Amino acid sequence: MNRIGAALHDLLRVASRPVAVASLAVLVAACTQTLGGSLASGVAGSSIGKDLDFVAARAARSAEYRALEYGRTGVPVTWKSGSSHGEVVPGTTYRINDSNCRDYVHTLTVGSGEAQSARGTACRQANGTWQPVS
What's the pTM value of the predicted model, to 2 decimals?
0.69
**Is 58 in the same domain as 84?**
yes
Same structural domain for residues 10 and 42? Answer: no
Domain range holding 78?
37-132
d(C-alpha 45, C-alpha 89), whole Å:
17
> What pLDDT score does 91 carry?
98
79-90: pLDDT as tens digits: 999 999 999 999
Task: Decide the pairing of beta strands 99-109 and 84-96.
Answer: antiparallel
42 and 28, same domain (yes or no): no
Q: 72 and 91 in contact (C-beta within 8 Å)?
A: no
Question: What is d(CA 108, CA 31) in angstroms, rounded to the nearest whole number?
Answer: 25
pLDDT tens digits for range 62-121? 999 999 999 999 999 999 999 999 999 999 999 999 999 999 999 999 998 899 999 999
Question: Is 57 in contact with 49 (CB distance < 8 Å)?
Answer: yes
At residue 36, the pLDDT reads 41
CB 108 within 8 A of CB 84: yes
